[in-house]
Every structure is written in structure tokens, then in C-alpha cells.
Structure 1
Amino acid sequence: MPLHLHESHDPRAFNAAVAALPLSNPLQGWGYGEARRVLGQQPRRFLIRNDQGSTVGALQLLRKPLVPGVSVLYAPRGPALESLDLLPDLAAPLRTLARRTDAYLKVEPPKPVEVGRPDDLITEDFEADQATIPESIGPFRRSQTEQPEHTILADLSLSEDDMFAGLHKMARRNVRTADRMGVEAGRDDDFEAFWEIFSATNERAQLGSFPRAYYEALRDAGNQFGGETYTVLSRHEGKALAGGFFLGLGDTTAYLYGGSIRDERPPTTGDKRKDAKAPDAFYWNAMLDAKEHGYGTFDFWGVPRRLDESKHSFGVFKMKLKFSTHRVWFPAYDLRLSPLAQPLVKALRVRKDLLNKRTRGTTDDIL
């Protein structure tokens, strides 16, 4: 089926198209692309139409310079599409966008691949998962993702009672404990409190982060043209102890950044301050808030590809798994545009391994 790319310069119309498509993600929203300008990346947006003039997709494409004279094109969790069957037909019009400096084009189709493992089990079945993921979609070849490839989703269309009943028993207990201890969690515009939590978590887990200006740009740009950015904080006795930054568009909200800190304040009574279970209150109330604001899907945004109990990421995985056991994959695919593509991908992997080794003492990725 011939497909045609029509460049869009109307932020609200573009976001409306992204939000309406069945395969979609907030990272395809206009604001996310605007924020990436802070990192030196240049966005372009296109509506995808068929020969009849019907809009069957939308694409936000970032050009990312790597070194002088070499760049790549990247569709973060995109393109948004009516059907994944359309992706092979996009190869030809996408090639027309490439410059001589573009080595390859990476897409991350927002169609989850189900893993099919039993619910409520922390099991490692990586090879079985990989067998369910296609190695190619037309001329697009499986590659490494930029966004977390393995994640957990929660269905917000259920009633609140059914959602709570679906939590792990430990989560239900901790949420009740937090409530008894007076923990308050919900939308909170205190960006400084979020930043304190986020920075402390990154330092503790050696995660790394972008410059603060990027997150501020995303906060502002993502909250326009029908998209939404917001922070949820969990407070005990006024102190923010857990929180996260969310980006929402259409049916989905994504928990992109966040963390938690210990409560180091002196206890009000007794010899030791009790654990108020603020992270559990954060997750549960973030889900309730998303449901209240009309979202149907809550994306926890990243759990480890391979489970390793010795890593910080395993603890994060266990926490998220208490709130939903729906584990899925979002694989990436590359369209090669230059003979440089394959050696460049290998070189980038080597560079990432060296960076991991220098910062955390291991070549393994965080997720």
C-alpha cells in the first residue's frame, strides 16, 4: 500500500492525530520533540496518509548528531499507526527524508509484544521472550532500543476495587499502612521536591541523567497542545519521600522519571522513625490519578531485560511488579540508510559498554 508523508506544522492537530491512533505513545507527542532540542536533537513531524487521503499514522522523527558528519534518525516509541502491518510500506517514503549524513533510522513501534508468562511470578525466561519477537518487519531489522524495551503496563479501565484487588498482597498491605500513617500522595507541582528525589535516586543507583534544563523543557513543552506533563509526590508529615514525572497523551500516561529517598528526620515518637511506605502510596495514587484523568493505560516505563537480584534495578522491578504483572516488550527496528550503519551500531555499543564500566563498574545496561 503506497503511503505518503505530509509534514505537519500544527502542534495541536499533530497531537490529536497521535492521540487518536490505536498504536500510539506520548513520546510521539509534539512536546517531547521540543524538549529534545535541549539535547541538540532536531524534530520533524509528519502525518502518514494513504492514496485515499486518509490519515493512517503520525510520525515524530528526531535527527540526532553523533559526531561531525554522522547522524541518525529516531522515532521514539513510534511511529503511531493504525496497524503495524503498515510499517514495511513506510520504508520507501522514510528513505526520502534521509541526508547523506544519516546512517540509519530507528523506530520503536508502540505495539507491545506479550510475554505470556504466568502472572505473579518473578521468573527469568529471556530466551522464550525473544522467540516471540520478530527479527524483522519488512526491511526493518531488530535492533537495540533507546527507550526501555521491557516494561509493565496496568489496565486502568477496571473499577478501583478491582484494581486494588489485583495488587500483590504486600502492596495492598503497604498502601493501607501508608494511609494509616497519614501519607498523602497525588499531583504536586513542587518540582524542587521531585528534583531532590530524582537526583538522590540517580546518585544512589548510579543511573545518570540529562541536564536539568531538559526536564524543565519537557515539563513545559509536554504540557501543551493536548499533551500533559505532571508530577506525583508522596509525602509523610509534609516531607516528599517518593515521586515521579509523567508524560501523558491519548490513552496512555508514562512514568518516565522518579524515585524515592529515605526519611532521615528524627522520629516524632520512639527511638526509630517508622517506615511510612511512601513508595507504595506513590504508585497506587499515581494509578488512581491517571484513571481519574481519563487514561486507560499506565506504563511503568522500564524493568530489567535480564533479572539479576544483585542489581538496583531488580528491586525496582519487584516494586513495580506488586502493582501489575502485565509484562511486555517494545522492540526496536533499524532501517539502514548507509554502509556505515552496521559498524556504527557496533561502535555505539562499545562506547556504551565503556561508559557503563567507567560509571558503574560493569558493562551491563541499567535495564
Structure 2
Amino acid sequence: MHFEQTNEWARFQQAVGRRVYAISSSRVTLLNEGRDVEEGEGAAIEKKIFTCLRYWEVNGGMPVPGMGFAHAAQVLLEAGKKAGAVFVRWTPSREFPISNFQFPILKNSEVVEPRVLIRQVPPKATLIVDLAKDEGTLLQEMHEKTRYNIRLAERKGVRANTMSVQEGFDAFWTLMQETARRDRIGLHAQDYYRKMLEILNGDAVRAHLFLAAHDGVSLATALLITCGDTATYLHGGSSNEARNLMAPHLLQWRMMQFAKAQGCRWYDMWGVAPFVRNEQGAMNSAHAWAGITRFKMGFGGEVREGIGTVDIMCRPLLYSFLAFLRRMRF
């Protein structure tokens, strides 16, 4: 099961002030302290637009396990309408086949590619490393430069380890802010990450905080989610200082080793550019994710591309108006 469809993730979302709904083919139920997502149900997270409008987000699978795409889309449409959502943003898991796939088109074409909140669309492609291989093979399948940078960091005395919230959160937050300023990316509120670490602490789903440091100075950080047979690199940041020590490379390798020791089969890099090469076969440097994609692909693995994300319009006129505002803004 995808970690965003677990009860642990639902409780975390509730802790940061969001409503969570359990969806089945026959009912929609608002979760509370005495109600979890049950077998045969999916989870939808309610989010806000302009503080007064709402939309739903369903990530990592079908709204009801085993349901077909067209039926699932219809269930989400009807459930979103009942809850007053403007739209339902649905991202099925990457396990579904994508060859010649087309999203189901409902009556009046309520199913569309995202036209609003584009930056919040989950990544369509990711990089998956098979941790069933021994460490020697994993290293051998990495890019030569990546292996070199890992060994360089080790020789220079960089240390990368998992840390408790009490030990490492301040350094994590400092590095995340530094990365956001440098790369001009958005962040969640500080309390969002802290609650993630505090609440996702069970056997089924757990958030792990990692730090890489040199001579007591923190240089790189990451949040890793373990759920079932998969470890997911969800958030990360690095310092502007001592970049020649290659701390992020060693940090990724230590997280892979950790995930393997925890019994995980797969290491999910959580997002790469879906088209990473140009017509000449070289990296397409114009893509917004070209830099991070180049870094991640150095660790080997296989790019897996899902069917992407769709918006199911529950209030089509209002959705179209929001899309119009976005076009006027940009």
C-alpha cells in the first residue's frame, strides 16, 4: 500500500489541520478519532484554495481497491460533489499499466489534465532502486562519478546517520530553508515536518530523519518514509557550504543501506523529470527538474512512469474560472 493511503498518513494530515475522508463505492465518511480507513476504502485529503474553497487529493492508488478506472472516477466525482469540493485531484499509483492508457472520460468531460495548482501536481515519473541486490552490485550499477563522490565524502570524514527529532530537527529545518532560498522552491510550515516525524513513528509507516555532517557542521539532510517493502526519499536539503565534500551523495547511500537493513525491497527517489534527454541523447538542461534528475539517476535504478494526475471537476464552472485566473496571472 502507498504510504499516502495509510491510516498513519491520515492521522498526520488531521494533525496539521486537514480533513480526511474514507471513500467506498457506497458512502463517504469523515474520519475522526474513533474511525479509520477500513479495508475496501480509500483515503481523500481535503485541501483549501483561497481559504474558502476546497478540493480533494487522492494519491497512490484507486479510491476503492480493485475498482476499475471509469467506475473509480465516477465514485470520486459523486463523492466530491457531496462534500462541496471544487475538484478531486487523483493520482493512481505507478503500478498500473500506462501503455496506450487514456483517462476515462465522463459525461460532460469532467475529467481533465490539471489546469490549476500546477506546482502541487505529484511527479509522474520516479526512480526506483532494487535493494534486493547486494551492496557491491548497487554500487557497481551507480554512475562512476556518483561512486567516486560517495568514496570522496567517506575519505574526507563526512558522517551520515539517522537522528531523533530532538537531536536533528533544528539542523534539518535550517538546511531546508537554505535550500528553499537557493533553489527558489516552496516549503511547508516548520510544524508540518515536525509532526510528520512525531506521528509517523509506528511499525507500518515511519518517518526517519537523516543528517550528514563534517566536523560537527550539518551539510545535508533528508526525510525518508518506510512503508511496507518501500522506502521513499520524500524531502531533502543541503548547505551552500563545503559542497566539495559531496555530503548529499553519501547521505543517499547511507539511506539506501538503512532501508535495505530495514527489509525494504525498493528505494523510491520520489520524482524525476519524465523527459530527461533531448533529441541528441544528452540531458535536457531546460527542464525544471534536470539538475535533481541528473543527481538521482547517478544512483542507478529504473525510471518508472505512472499514468499521471487528473482533476475531476465537481464544480466545472468554478474550476474553469480558477483556471482562467491562473492563465491571466502567468
Class of the TM-score when normalised by the shorter of the 2 chains: 0.7 to 0.9
Amino acid at match of 1:294: G
Match of 1:332 among 287, 297, 309: 309
Q: Which stretches in structure 2 are left out of the alignment for 5+ residues?
A: 27-37, 115-119, 277-283
Greater mean deviation of Cα atoms: 162-171 or 248-257: 248-257
CA contact (8 A) 2:178 2:239 kept: yes
Amino acid at match of 2:175: I
Cross-structure match for 2:140: 165
Deviation at 1:203, TM superposition (A): 0.8
Distance 2:248 2:314 in 1: 44
Q: Aligned ranges for residues 142-157 of structure 1 at < 5 Å?
A: 143-144=113-114, 146-157=121-132
Distance 1:101 1:75 in 2: 16
Amino acid at match of 1:259: G
Cross-structure match for 2:226: 248
Q: Secondary structure at the match of 2:94?
A: coil
Cross-structure match for 1:88: 70
Amino acid at match of 1:106: R
Amino acid at match of 1:136: F
CA contact (8 A) 2:46 2:54 kept: yes
**Over residues 252-301 of structure 1, what are the superposed CA-to-partner deviations in whole Å (9 max), with x where a residue is unaligned?**
2211111211335xxxxxxxxx9222111011111111111111121111
Amino acid at match of 1:226: A
Distance 2:70 2:45 in 1: 20
Cross-structure match for 1:32: 9
Match of 1:213 among 187, 191, 206: 191
**Over residues 141-196 of structure 1, what are the superposed CA-to-partner deviations in whole Å (9 max), with x where a residue is unaligned?**
45236222232111112121211111111111111122222222121221111111
Distance 1:78 1:48 in 2: 15
Cross-structure match for 2:241: 263
Match of 1:188 among 163, 174, 198: 163
Distance 1:30 1:109 in 2: 18
Match of 1:202 among 180, 201, 210: 180
Q: Secondary structure at the match of 1:102?
A: coil
1:315 aligns with 2:291: yes
**Over residues 193-222 of structure 1, what are the superposed CA-to-partner deviations in whole Å (9 max), with x where a residue is unaligned?**
111111111110010111111111211222
CA contact (8 A) 1:76 1:107 kept: yes
Match of 2:60 among 74, 77, 81: 77
Greater mean deviation of Cα atoms: 304-313 or 246-255: 304-313
Q: Secondary structure at the match of 1:61?
A: strand
Distance 1:201 1:68 in 2: 27
**Over residues 100-155 of structure 1, what are the superposed CA-to-partner deviations in whole Å (9 max), with x where a residue is unaligned?**
622222211112578xxxxxxxxxxxxxxxx9563314648452362222321111
Q: Secondary structure at the match of 2:270?
A: coil
In the alignment of these two chains, the number of paired residues is 299
> Percentage identity across aligned positions?
21
Distance 1:69 1:196 in 2: 32
Deviation at 1:82, TM superposition (A): 5.6
**Over residues 80-109 of structure 1, what are the superposed CA-to-partner deviations in whole Å (9 max), with x where a residue is unaligned?**
7765x6333334444453326222222111
Q: Which stretches in structure 1 are left out of the alignment for 5+ residues?
A: 1-23, 50-54, 115-130, 265-273, 355-362
1:346 aligns with 2:323: yes
> CA separation of 1:239/1:68 partners in 2, compared to 1, >3 Å: closer, same or farther?
closer
CA contact (8 A) 2:62 2:72 kept: no
> CA separation of 1:184/1:226 partners in 2, compared to 1, >3 Å: closer, same or farther?
same
Distance 1:66 1:38 in 2: 19
Amino acid at match of 1:276: L
> CA separation of 1:338/1:80 partners in 2, compared to 1, >3 Å: closer, same or farther?
closer
Distance 1:349 1:132 in 2: 31
Match of 1:298 among 267, 274, 286: 267
Distance 2:208 2:151 in 1: 25
TM-score normalised by the chain length of structure 1? 0.71
Cross-structure match for 2:103: 136
Q: Secondary structure at the match of 1:135?
A: coil
Deviation at 1:44, TM superposition (A): 1.9
> CA separation of 1:160/1:345 partners in 2, compared to 1, >3 Å: closer, same or farther?
farther
Q: Secondary structure at the match of 2:60?
A: coil
CA contact (8 A) 2:64 2:72 kept: no
Q: Secondary structure at the match of 1:275?
A: helix
Greater mean deviation of Cα atoms: 291-300 or 134-143: 134-143
Distance 2:194 2:325 in 1: 28
Q: Secondary structure at the match of 2:271?
A: coil
Distance 1:25 1:323 in 2: 23
CA contact (8 A) 2:175 2:238 kept: yes
TM-score normalised by the chain length of structure 2? 0.78
Distance 2:231 2:135 in 1: 17
